[in-house]
Structure 1
Amino acid sequence: MNNMFIIHGYQANINSHWFAWLAKEMAHYHYQVEIIYLPNTHHPKASNWYTALDDRLKGKLNENTLIVAHSLGVITTLNYLSHQQFTPQIKGLFLISGFNETLNNLPELDTYIKQTNVQCDKVNSQHVVTIAASEDPIVDVEATKRLSNELGVSTQIITHNGHFLDTEGYHTFEFLKDQIIDILNKTNTEIGYIPISVFINNLHLIFVFCLYGALILPNNRMAH
């Protein structure tokens, strides 16, 4: 199933910013999109947001899943994925204005942030893309760079003075959409990656080659 989940941030909701626009755009690529509602967005609690994600994501993640998260939604998503032991690898993770540390200009989020336990090495995604604004007054670009470093990726930096909000004109987000489509256009047969389905579907061939090696090749060596 081709599904996408959009995770909003602090003081936002499912109707904020570019979320609905992106959901509509991804329908053209045969993706079912859900913008996940997170409760009490002006006074969030980490446990409540974790539960909200679990209610909507549990049992729905697969090799075609895409997750887009913004701001506080980023650390929330990473915290959730860090603690899913048997979750399949998802297709892509797109993190906008993300961070994994307390923010000097938002001390009211300190308690929330300190209650998370992000373990980037346990985040199971085939592709990870991080995006930041060059001049973000809410989440400094350096915080996003530090998160990117933890994830082992480079930050995509957009020249912009802001936080990718609708009040800044971000009712659409073409750069993000382009990043997503670029990932979708990549094949699963990249160097070093063999989809499990291909392996299973060709088990009979693997058996034949092994049998050939066991029975035929020794006879050939004896003949010489």
Structure 2
Amino acid sequence: MVAGFKNRTAALPELDQFIEEAYFNKKNILAEHIISGAAKKDDRVDSSLSKELSEELNDKFIEVNHEGHFLGKEGYDTFELLRDEIFKRNNLKSLSPCAEDKETAFL
């Protein structure tokens, strides 16, 4: 999960109605591993909201020293830290069995 949240955020009021009507039950999430990433200085989703959701899901939370919302126009077009964590959790060197190096495009 990248910049995940389940409660209102002042920067995205257009999502308020959706958030109020959404049904969240962590028992419905069928995942062996959940990894959450958030930027320390995200102007849209405060990292505390992502951390709160992460704690509720009992997953690994990674706070990235990044200013912004992980957008390509802000210079963030890959999430290598998250990719590496996924590889580590699954004992992989890359997602593709044909890949020859760690620079495989993934996230």
How does the TM-score come out when normalised to structure 2?
Answer: 0.79
Distance 1:175 1:122 in 2: 27
* DSSP-derived class of the 2:33 partner: strand
1:141 aligns with: 47
Counterpart CA distance in 2 for 1:140 and 1:166 is 19
What is the rounded CA distance, in whole Å, between the counterparts of 2:60 and 2:25 in structure 1? 18
Structure ID, larger Rg = 1
Question: What is the CA distance between 1:174 and its match in structure 2?
Answer: 1.2
**Mind listing any 5+ residue stretches in structure 2 that lack a counterpart?**
93-107
**Matching residue of 2:34:** 128
User: Given residue 23 of structure 2, which amino acid in structure 1 is its aligned partner?
Assistant: N
User: What residue number does 2:5 align with?
Assistant: 99
Extract structure 1 runs of 4+ deviating beyond 2 A: none
| Structure 2 contact 37–64 (Cα < 8 Å) conserved | yes
1:66 corresponds in structure 2 to none
The answer to whether the aligner puts 1:160 opposite 2:70 as a matched pair is no
Identity of aligned residues (%): 37
1:157-196 equivalences under 5 Å are: 157-185=63-91
Instruction: Give the distance between the partners of 1:182 and 1:99, measured in 2 at CA.
Output: 25
| Structure 1 unaligned regions, length at least 5 | 1-94, 187-224
Distance 1:102 1:164 in 2: 19
Query: How far does residue 170 in structure 1 lie from its aligned partner after superposition?
Result: 1.1
SS at match of 2:38: strand
Whether contact under 8 Å (2:4, 2:49) holds in the other structure is yes
1:103 Cα offset (Å):
1.0
1:117 aligned residue: 23
- Indicate the structure with greater helix content: 1
TM (norm. structure 1) is 0.39
